[in-house]
């Protein structure tokens, strides 16, 4: 089956709802249901939540709107889209794709772990992380191989609403537990003693990772969008669903954690170690555990689909190959490069300062994605400039919204991104 760039016609979303569901699926991933609750716990609850919401508005939404605008205006995947803005900016698209590839390598491992835990709760236990990693990336490849409208959009329209319904159900159940009052106090009662540089850094990186910024996913999805769709509405709805899902996940997990005497600041092991113990002590706990892992699996695979599609779209455009072949090549490479993550997670078998998951995460999430987002801000403001950027994003009548968007992209948003970059190199020391 030849793809859009080979045949000369760019794919389109079948409906506005399908695009929103696919984009929400790209944003709502394990970062929301796994990463957000444990980082919120480590960040002191309400203070982290407040910082997160502010950063979504002043940094997340502006960059998301910029990426969607670049995608729709050019109708191209990241490398060629950035080259269209300026011939020397193609490297930003390369960084996008590298970040996407590295994230998917460890994302597939965790997606496989979710399948392993889910089937273990059903009585089919197999401790084979490599096998489950291969199963997960194969499932992702099957969806992407079906194409934009028939594969990605149709699956998102089913899976994203299912994800939200399951999450609401689990939240209702856990909110009836005796620890719910303490959990809500932790989540929503201000304690400004927790306000520090470390909490700010955690909130910043969580926003960019959660919204899939700096990976090229939103540029790719924007390139399939019709000219009549409102980008501002999309740039607001996607973070709204994304943040709402993250808060719901925290409300689902924290009452159970407090009810069973666990620490909300447990860290990354919260989902795989603490949550199973919590559910095992509840009436109907096995069913809840299966539902919970299926929920996180849905979140994981919708995000994985967006990342694989971003890579596939770029290969199709640059190499002019059929979709099936592009999916096969990239999936094989991800499967191969994900195996070291499966073998080294939580272990130090190579005497390295970090395992492969930590290495991939550091390079992709904390370096490439942040640098790409900063360059995107600068490219829109200083190269695209208002004359081209405003009509691309907002139409001819941009008004106050356009001025506010440019002000944030020119000042606040790059300042926050620059802080994250400098903190990585210890020019700014995070407490």
User: What are 349-369's pLDDT values in tens digits?
Assistant: 666 677 888 888 888 888 899
**Domains of the chain: total:** 1
Q: CB of 345 within 8 A of CB of 355?
A: yes
- Domain span at residue 349? 4-424
**Which band of pLDDT confidence, cut at 50, 70 and 90, is reported for residue 267?**
low
Cα-trace Rg, the chain: 21
pLDDT digits 0-9 by tens, 387-408: 888 888 887 667 888 889 999 9
DSSP state for residue 189 in the 8-state scheme = S
Among 87, 67, 38, 109, smallest CA distance to 335 is for: 109
374 belongs to a structural domain: yes
CATH of the domain at 156: 1.10.4160.10
pLDDT top residue among 271 and 180? 180
pLDDT (mean) for 264-289: 70
Count the Cβ atoms, other than its own, within 10 Å of residue 247.
20
In a domain? residue 431:
no
Cβ pair 366, 413 in contact under 8 A: no
430 falls in which pLDDT band (50, 70, 90)? Answer: very low
Considering the entire predicted model, what is its pTM?
0.87
**Interatomic CA distance for residues 206 and 38, integer angstroms:** 11
Residue 11 CB contacts under 8 Å (≥ 6 apart), including other chains: 3, 4, 147, 148, 149, 224
Angular region, 92: left φ>0, alpha ψ -120 to 50, beta rest: alpha
Confirm if 187 and 250 have CB atoms less than 8 A apart: yes
- Please, what's the b/e burial string for 15-28 (b: 16 or more CB within 10 A of its CB; e: otherwise)? ebebbbbbbbbbbb
Distance of CA 321 to the CA centre of its chain: 27
- C-alpha–C-alpha distance, residues 104 and 99, integer Å: 9
3-class SS string, 222-271 = HHCCCCCCCHHHHHHHHHHHHHHHHHHHHHHHHHHHHHCCCCCCCCHHHC
Q: Cα(235)–Cα(58) distance, rounded to whole angstroms? A: 12
> What is the C-alpha separation between 173 and 259, in angstroms, rounded?
13
Please check the confidence at residue 4 and state whether its pLDDT lies above 50. no
Contacts of 200 (CB under 8 A, 6+ apart): 51
Q: Nearest CA to 305 among 378, 220, 235, 238?
A: 220
Structural domain contains residue 430: no
With respect to residue 187, please indicate whether it lies within any of the assigned structural domains. Answer: yes
| Range 170-174 average pLDDT | 84
What is the rounded CA–CA span in Å between residue 54 and residue 48?
10
d(CA 305, CA 25): 9
- Within-domain flag for 371: yes
- Closest by CA to 408, choosing from 430, 397, 428, 393, is 393
Of 118, 154, 101, nearest to 304 by C-alpha is 101
- Say if 429 falls within a structural domain: no
What is the pLDDT of the chain when averaged over all its residues? 84
Q: Are 163 and 292 in contact (CB under 8 A)?
A: no
pLDDT at 5: 39
The model's confidence at residue 79, banded by pLDDT at 50, 70 and 90, is very high
* Cα–Cα distance for residue pair 218/410, rounded to 1 Å: 20
Q: Which two tokens mark 328?
A: 């096969």
Q: Which residue has the higher pLDDT, 258 or 86?
A: 86
For 150, phi then psi, to 5°, come to -80, -25
Angle of helix 61-74 versus helix 78-85 axis, rounded to 10: 90
Could you count the other beta carbons within 10 Å of the beta carbon of residue 208? 25
pLDDT value of residue 1 = 31
Q: Tell me whether residue 214 is in a domain.
A: yes
* DSSP helix/strand/coil, 131: helix
Cβ atoms of residues 104 and 307 within 8 Å: yes
Q: Report d(CA 355, CA 139) in Å as an integer.
A: 26
**pLDDT at residue 288, rounded to an integer:** 81
The length of the chain, given as a count of residues: 431
The answer on pLDDT for 88 being more than 70 is yes
Q: Give CA–CA dist 330/93, Å, rounded.
A: 17
Query: 374 to each of 155, 298, 418, how far by Cα in Å?
Result: 32, 30, 7
pLDDT in tens, 364-388: 888 899 899 999 999 999 999 888 8
- Looking at residue 349, its pLDDT comes to 62
């Amino acid at each position: 089956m030849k793809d859009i760039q080979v045949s000369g016609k760019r794919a389109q979303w079948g409906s506005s709802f399908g695009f929103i569901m696919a984009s929400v699926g790209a944003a709502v991933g394990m970062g929301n249901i796994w990463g957000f609750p444990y980082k919120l716990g480590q960040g002191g609850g309400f203070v982290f939540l407040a910082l997160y919401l502010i950063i979504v508005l002043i940094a997340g939404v502006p960059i998301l709107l910029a990426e969607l605008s670049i995608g729709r205006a050019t109708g191209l995947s990241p490398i060629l889209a950035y080259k269209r803005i300026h011939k020397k900016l193609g490297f930003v698209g390369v960084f996008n794709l590298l970040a996407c590839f590295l994230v998917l390598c460890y994302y597939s491992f965790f997606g496989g772990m979710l399948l392993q835990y889910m089937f273990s709760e059903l009585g089919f236990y197999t401790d084979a992380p490599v096998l489950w990693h291969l199963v997960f990336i194969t499932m992702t490849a099957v969806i992407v191989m079906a194409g934009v409208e028939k594969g990605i959009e149709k699956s998102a329209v089913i899976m994203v609403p299912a994800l939200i319904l399951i999450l609401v159900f689990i939240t209702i159940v856990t909110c009836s537990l005796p620890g719910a009052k303490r959990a809500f106090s932790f989540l929503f009662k201000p304690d400004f003693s927790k306000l520090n540089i470390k909490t700010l850094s955690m909130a910043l990186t969580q926003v960019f990772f959660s919204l899939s910024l700096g990976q090229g996913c939103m540029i790719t999805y924007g390139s399939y969008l019709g000219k009549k769709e409102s980008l501002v509405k999309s740039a607001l709805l996607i973070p709204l669903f994304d943040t709402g899902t993250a808060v719901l996940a925290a409300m689902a997990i924290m009452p159970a954690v407090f009810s069973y005497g666990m620490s909300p600041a447990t860290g990354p092991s919260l989902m795989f170690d603490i949550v199973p113990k919590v559910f095992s002590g509840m009436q109907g706990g096995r069913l809840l555990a299966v539902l919970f892992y299926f929920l996180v699996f849905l979140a994981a695979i919708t995000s994985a689909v967006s990342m694989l599609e971003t890579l596939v779209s770029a290969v199709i455009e640059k190499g002019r190959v059929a979709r099936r072949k592009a999916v096969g090549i990239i999936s094989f490479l991800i499967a191969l490069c994900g195996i070291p993550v499966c073998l080294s997670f939580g272990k130090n078998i190579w005497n390295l300062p970090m395992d492969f998951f930590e290495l991939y995460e550091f390079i992709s999430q904390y370096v490439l994605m942040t640098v790409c987002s900063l360059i995107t801000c600068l490219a829109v403001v200083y190269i695209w400039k208002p004359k081209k950027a405003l009509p691309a994003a907002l139409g001819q009548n941009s008004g106050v919204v356009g001025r506010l968007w440019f002000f944030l992209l020119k000042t606040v948003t790059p300042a926050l991104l620059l802080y994250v970059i400098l903190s990585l190199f210890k020019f700014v020391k995070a407490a």
